[in-house]
Homo-oligomer: A and B are copies of this chain.
Amino acid sequence: MKILVTGGAGFLGSRLIQALLQPEALDLLPGHGRIVSLDLAPYPYEDPRVESVIGDIADPACLARLVDAETTVVYHLAAVVSGQAEADFDLGMRVNLDATRVLLEACRQRAKAPILVFASSLAVFGGELPDKVPEDLAPLPQSSYGAQKAMAELLVGDYSRKGYVDGRVCRLPTISVRPGKPNAAASSFASGIIREPLAGLPSNCPVPLETRLWLSSPDTVIANLLHAARLDGQALGLRRTLNLPGISVRVGQMLDSLERLAGLEARARVGDEPDPRIERIVCSWPGDFDIRRPLQLGFGVDRDFDAIVAAHQRFMKTQ
């Protein structure tokens, strides 16, 4: 048995692989099972059960080789992030749309359709939004990243309907607090305004304090990605796409949490220089969702943002 993780060298992919190697995930990856990480960079840890393949996710030959008869589960996390896909339209199309199709075609060639967990995003939404986004709201992307993810969702849906793959689409909330460095995602600040001050560094908040964000901690997202592969595909019915649970928090409330848990000094490290490019993208995203269905299906959710900050503080001590 084999699990393929695209984007396995990234923050989320490498954390997911570590979780899959734990005894708690033996149902997904038995002791003799292997994980293949496909990414432009090597999987950052050493483990005899992980094969790190450096390759192009949009290369059909590479995918045809990596998705073989042993492959039971595919996690498709590789993506060009929102800011970058907006700046380089063609790159975004190639990685976010074309590569997904190449991967689905590789799955289709298998006698037994693998389970595919595809990481999509709340960035598929935009325009005038209801206060709480219902399950059946039409995507209206205001970024190429969102449009590419929405198209890829439809691909996964139709390949699943045809029985070519057993797909589950998880629209991830914005993840906060991501460890590491800022990246080109428009939502990068949602981690930066907590992570940098906690590390004694300055950070900037480019959007108004009243901006609502839909957030999930890394631990909750990882647990939910594991759960997505464990679900009975039939339980999803016709709707293969799920808005993963998150918590609805205003940016000002995030900074209040920072001050409560790390003091005024930490809070004072966050500047407030607006960035219209980021604001335009981030403020087009919904700040709250109806999550009754994913909760019924057993997905988890963070308690509140204080708990998320505290978890990141604990994580910092382990580094």
Contacts and interface: CB of A to CB of B under 8 A. Distances in A.
Interface string A109-151: 0000000000000000011000000001111111010011011
A157 B136 contact: no
Nearest to A108: B89
A140 B238 contact: yes
A157 B137 contact: no
Total copies of this chain within the assembly: 2
B158 A141 contact: yes
A239 interface: yes
A141 B154 contact: yes
The listed residue with most B CB atoms (<10 A of its CB), out of A144, A151, A158, A238, is A158
The listed residue with most B CB atoms (<10 A of its CB), out of A127, A148, A161, A237, is A161
Contacts of A150: 154
Contacts of A237: 127
B158 A238 contact: no
A155 interface: yes
A168 B136 CA distance: 23
Contacts of A157: 140-141, 147
A142 B155 CA distance: 12
A162 interface: yes
Given A127-B239, A238-B126, A158 B140 contact: no
A238 B128 CA distance: 9
A237 B138 CA distance: 15
B139 A138 contact: yes
A140 B239 contact: yes
A76 to B, nearest CB: 17
B139 A154 contact: yes
A137 B127 CA distance: 13
Interface string A222-249: 0000000000000001110000000000
Given A136-B137, A141-B154, A147-B154, 15 more contacts: A89-B162, A127-B237, A127-B238, A127-B239, A137-B137, A137-B138, A138-B138, A139-B154, A141-B158, A142-B161, A144-B162, A148-B158, A151-B151, A151-B154, A151-B155
28 contacts: A89-B162, A126-B238, A127-B237, A127-B238, A127-B239, A136-B140, A137-B138, A138-B138, A138-B139, A139-B154, A140-B238, A140-B239, A141-B154, A141-B157, A141-B158, A142-B238, A144-B158, A147-B154, A147-B155, A147-B157, A147-B158, A147-B161, A148-B158, A150-B154, A151-B151, A151-B154, A151-B155, A154-B154
